[in-house]
Amino acid sequence: MKLNLNDRTAQRIRDTNFLMFYENVTLDAPQLFSENSIDILNASNSSTFSDKIFDLGGRDVNVGVVDYGPYCLTENVGENRGNADAFNSTLRKELQIEGLEGNLIIEFCKLRNCTLKLLPFGPDNWGYIDENGTGDGMLYATYLKKTELSICCTSFDWVQDILDGSQSIAYSSMKILVPRAKLLPTYLTPVYPFSSNLWISIFVTLTSMSVVLHGITALNSFRDALDQPAFVKSIFDTIAIFLDQGIFLNLICFIMLSGVVLSNSYSGGLASVLTIPRFEKSLDTIHNFALSQYRWAAPSIAWTFTIADAETPDLQAVVRKIEVIPDPDQLYRRSLRGDIGIGIELLNSQKFYVGPGGGP
């Protein structure tokens, strides 16, 4: 078994499922290979746990954690009243950690015989790691090897090239609870039977027919008022008769037929509107929500992490429309205005969760 080392201090080795630890390694010059690789099995005074993770021998495991319900919630409850030790503290069991991933790490240390040392980072403080090696927060502490594990919703794509992660533990999905469709104004009831496009078509048709009738009337008036020779008058009479008997009669028939059809359709539509009230278009798809004027609120910016780099315009609009409101009371008061949606989480257990720190 060979490992790549950067220094001679105790370090951790990760595989795709969890961590493997080694400690108390002393190196001799003949044991060094290319790229600072050493043969751990032949190193003197070495103690490896690569295939013995089921019993870590009481080893301290430093774990960074953020408050992010319902996955991890940490509270200082006093000595011997909690279920985990605090990092860099001599008091025992002064922290109480709960939640899906919190219970998971507690049970892991019970089953694998290790001592859990928690380093809380507060709500939503996952942190960041810059390209130059600087950063802050929970993930940066693991990058600096201050902690050996970071838990609580750490499935971020940008971390995969810097830190190793375990297999996925649970999946959840996000839904936006939007206000119901509002009742359309009642004073516009006479307009509702027809759509906007149909009303425009009717207006254009009536305007066109009015222009044609006005042209025919103006031509007849011009013919009667004009003092003209008999031959010229005969030409105008012929044109007038043609218009009166052809275009004019056809136009009259079209107006009458259109009137019958439109009046019957309008009567039926008006009866329907008076029977069933009309509402605004419901926001039942992401596309409709993206086109609407509504915004949405969530207790953490983490709700947008998985779609922040999406290329579709609808998801980009969803990311832009978020309002981060960590306080649940303020979030509730904000929702009473009826002009904003609320983010809710569908958990792996198929139950909905709404609250501060709800996950994406």
Lowest mean pLDDT among 130-144, 212-226, 303-317: 212-226
Q: Is the pLDDT score of 5 beyond 50?
A: no
Band of pLDDT at residue 68, cut at 50, 70 and 90: confident
**pLDDT reported for residue 243:** 59
**pLDDT reported for residue 82:** 92
Give the DSSP letter of residue 84. B
Q: Is the pLDDT score of 255 beyond 50?
A: yes
Name the pTM for this structure: 0.59
**Which is higher by pLDDT, 358 or 191?**
191
Q: What domains, with CATH codes, occur in the chain?
A: 60-170 (3.40.190.10), 186-275 (no CATH), 286-353 (no CATH)
Q: CA-to-CA distance for 1 and 280, rounded, in angstroms?
A: 67
Band of pLDDT at residue 192, cut at 50, 70 and 90: confident
- Model pLDDT for residues 107-138, shown as the tens digit of each residue: 989 988 889 999 999 888 888 888 888 889 89
Lowest mean pLDDT among 105-109, 148-152, 193-197, 317-321: 193-197
Band of pLDDT at residue 31, cut at 50, 70 and 90: very low
Per-chain mean pLDDT for the chain? 75
Band of pLDDT at residue 174, cut at 50, 70 and 90: confident
Cβ neighbours of residue 172 under 8 Å, at least 6 residues apart? 345, 346, 347, 348, 359, 360
**pLDDT reported for residue 6:** 35
Q: Is the pLDDT score of 12 beyond 90?
A: no
What number is the average pLDDT over the span 80-88?
Answer: 91
Q: CA-to-CA distance for 269 and 251, rounded, in angstroms?
A: 26
- C-alpha distances out from residue 76 to 92, 118, 120, Å: 11, 11, 10
Tokens for 64, please give them: 């960074």
Q: Are 356 and 299 in contact (CB under 8 A)?
A: yes
Band of pLDDT at residue 335, cut at 50, 70 and 90: confident
DSSP H/E element including 217 = helix 196-225
Q: Is the pLDDT score of 79 beyond 50?
A: yes
Lowest mean pLDDT among 3-7, 309-313, 314-318: 3-7
Tokens for 270, please give them: 């008006």
Lowest mean pLDDT among 74-83, 201-210, 312-321: 201-210
Tokens for 140, please give them: 């940066």
- Model pLDDT for residues 342-353, shown as the tens digit of each residue: 888 888 777 887
Band of pLDDT at residue 247, cut at 50, 70 and 90: low
Number of other residues whose CB lies within 10 A of the CB of residue 218: 10
Tokens for 225, please give them: 């008022």
**Which is higher by pLDDT, 308 or 138?**
138
Q: Is the pLDDT score of 224 beyond 70?
A: no
Distance of CA 184 to the CA centre of its chain: 29
Determine what percent of the chain is predicted with pLDDT higher than 70.
73
